[in-house]
A and B are shown apart, each in its own frame.
Chain A
Amino acid sequence: MKLYLRDQAPLIALYILQLFLITLVYRLDGYRNAEVSLYAALLSSCLFAGYLLIRYWRNRTFYARLSAPSPTTEELLNNKQQTPLSLSLHRLIKGQYRRYQTELQQYKHKLDSHIQFINQWVHQMKTPVSVIHLIIQHQDKPEFTAIGDELDRLRKGLDMVLYTARLDTFEKDFYVEELDLEQVVRSVTSSQRRLFIRSRIFPVIEFERPLRITSDEKWLSFVMTQLVTNAVRYSAGEEHRQIRFRGYQSGSEAVLDIQDEGIGIPQGDLPRVFDPYFTGENGRLYQESTGMGLYLVQQICSRMGHGVEIESEEGRGTTVRIKFKLTNV
């Protein structure tokens, strides 16, 4: 109503002015009967008010729609009135909405085919990786060991690309089952054994008792591989360091601590380590940081409903803690 009145204000002003003007002209001409003049003004005003009211009534949803705070798209597309203004507004909105939808669909399609391309490409790259892996498998010369190390890096890089691309379609790619936590830890440390051996850092696995958790093995293994790679990378350089995997029960939760004796994370960087592309001071010291590792860890864990925390002291080491809901036995 307010918007309508504001919209019609010039017309109302014009009308009142006209009324005065006409009355004035008659008056100057010598016509002095005020009563008749007032009566004529009243009749005319009533007519005008009637016009305003009818017009408002016919266009009320049009105005309501214009002044309502951001209605949903469906409400916006729902038109019952047949006045020209209302109809053309409806056409305008509908046209814009269609265009915007088409554009959105195009981008969605582009994104989908991009993800599909990445998926396919990474899988294709795994064939040459397998071939190199098989060629060097039974070789023990330092050159081949070096090629093997680089091959491991390639594999990790490929996995990182694959898992990052899949994060958006996580729900389609998720297979939950009951797992033995220690088993998962052991298979991850075993698959990363070259990394451990090369860095002369060895894992210690301590479990008080078997812990059954519910998770997706593939994603969880990826998370642990990221954490293990970080732990080894930031502990390398000194021998006889260990990486401790401690599994224990805390209330209704199964907890896994991955504790290294590495360089630690500066206090100032701690709150931001889970941000994407954040590398911090350590990232600048060590070249391989992409800033994606811990971000992916946190994203994946939160999607699987696991908690993840990080504690660190510079020079003393870092502990990453993953909390699982314990499966009732």
Chain B
Amino acid sequence: MFKIFIVEDDKKLVSLLEEHLHKFEYDTRSVTDFAAVLSDFRSYDPHLVLLDINLPKYDGYYWCRQIRGLSTCPIIFISAREGKMDQVMALENGADDYLTKPFDYEIAVAKISSQLRRAYGSYAASQQTRSVTVSGLTLDVDRLYLTLNGQKVELSHTEAKILEELLTRQEQVVSRDRLLDRIWDDQSFVDDNTLNVYVTRVRKKLSGLGVQDAVQTVRGQGYRLLPNWEDEA
């Protein structure tokens, strides 16, 4: 299990980050005494450090240089300063990457796992293969497969994202806005119709596995997934 050391003075932010990182099976520890960052670091011996720049007593650059004296583990800065100069300064002080506040969980996790992969080899990647299973229907989010009762269909990236959203919120209405928000980056052109087209494709993929009418349209709101299929396993 990878150990992540979080040096950030906002407790709420730390607890949210830790909660999310635990879902990906990372072990975390955060600093409470900002005068003793280095001894905490030594006793915990983490694989990766998340480091805020504005800290009480000394700033993040200082601690980054101090940590670099002990270890070559990846260090990712978390900061509200989005300027190129600030980032250059961070990199010059020995950081490996830079995360700008406010950030999404996805970006934080992606940067952490890519740094871990770079530093500790490709087996780091296997840790974060995610899948969602609802009554026997399994979506492999990273490999883009959907399986039910031994049958398997391939999905596109966009289709997988829509299904992930619907499966994790089964029986709840997922708003159009949220789905559009999720699929935005994959598309060169997004409008209201784009979503209709992709939902139709998702329904087709599901019917390929023998699942009919599971994705319902809720007029004016969005879509809902009802697990009406049979789990034979």
Contacts and interface: CB of A to CB of B under 8 A. Distances in A.
Contacts of A122: 80
A61 to B, nearest CB: 49
Q: Is chain B's binding surface mostly helix, strand, loop or mixed?
A: mixed
B80 A123 contact: yes
B54 A123 contact: yes
Interface in B104-132: 104-105
Interface residues of A, number: 35
A131 B80 CA distance: 12
Interface string B189-218: 111100000000000000000000000000
A175 B12 contact: no
Contact of A130 (B81, B88, B102, B185): B102
Interface in A80-136: 122-124, 126-127, 129-131, 133-135
Interface stretch (A195-203, A226-234, A300-308): A195-203
B29 to A, nearest CB: 19
Contacts of A197: 177, 180-181, 184
B169 interface: yes
Contacts of A216: 84
B13 A134 contact: yes
B181 A218 contact: no
Interface string B72-83: 000000011111
Interface in B2-16: 10, 12-13, 16
B101 interface: yes
B174 A173 contact: no
B181 A194 contact: yes
Interface in A191-246: 193-194, 196-198, 200, 202, 204-205, 216-218, 239-240
A155 B189 CA distance: 25
B33 to A, nearest CB: 20
B85 A127 contact: no
A168 interface: no
A198 B169 CA distance: 21
B58 interface: no
B103 A130 contact: yes
Contact of A218 (B84, B180, B189): B84
B80 A126 contact: yes
Interface string B45-85: 00000000010000000000000000000000001111111
A172 B184 CA distance: 35
Contact of B175 (A133, A140, A205): A140
Contacts of A127: 10, 13, 80, 101
A190 interface: yes
Interface in A244-278: none
B212 to A, nearest CB: 25
17 contacts: A123-B81, A127-B13, A129-B102, A130-B101, A130-B102, A131-B10, A131-B12, A134-B13, A134-B102, A175-B84, A175-B88, A193-B180, A193-B190, A194-B181, A218-B82, A239-B192, A240-B192
B177 to A, nearest CB: 5
B23 to A, nearest CB: 11
B43 interface: no
Given A193-B184, A200-B192, A175 B85 contact: yes
A181 to B, nearest CB: 15
B192 A130 contact: no
Nearest to A119: B81
B102 A126 contact: yes
A289 interface: no
A129 B101 contact: yes
A204 B189 CA distance: 7
A37 interface: no
A190 B185 contact: yes
Given A131-B16, A140-B178, A202 B101 contact: no
A191 to B, nearest CB: 10
Given A175-B83, A190-B184, A130 B13 contact: yes
B151 interface: no
B102 A124 contact: no
Interface in A144-188: 145, 155, 173, 175, 177
A145 B83 contact: no
